[in-house]
Amino acid sequence: MAFESYPYKEKQIKDISEYDINVAVSGVIVNKNKNTFILDDGTSQATIYSENMPEYKYVRVFGRVIPFENGFEIQAQIIQDLSLINKDLYARYKKFLNQK
């Protein structure tokens, strides 16, 4: 079986479906457990599985969508610190991306 690499698609959590493979989502961490945290992007919340818990509060997660019967979880592959980013400018950038 050959390993296939899929690009990460920037998405809002509310728009993630069972057909997505790799996504990039950004938002605020609202809750942490041992190996998971809840990310809120303003449209919805997602459970993110990660062996390394981020220290920062505002992040972008690049990860693989793991579908379940009642929704999905995202297996984090990269977690990027966005705590120093201009949030208004970044929101405009994401809005621009979603128009394409």
Using only C-alpha atoms, the chain has a radius of gyration, in whole angstroms, of: 13
Res. 1 pLDDT band, cuts 50 70 90: very low
- Asked whether 31 and 39 are in contact (CB, 8 A), the reply is no
- Model confidence pLDDT, tens digit, residues 29-82: 999 998 999 999 989 999 999 998 888 899 999 999 999 888 899 999 999 999
- pTM comes to 0.85
- Top-tier CATH class for 9-94: mainly beta
Residue 4 has pLDDT above 70, yes or no: no
Provide DSSP, 47-71: EEE-SS--SSSEEEEEEEEEEETTE
- pLDDT value at position 66? 94
Domain map (residue ranges) of the chain: 9-94
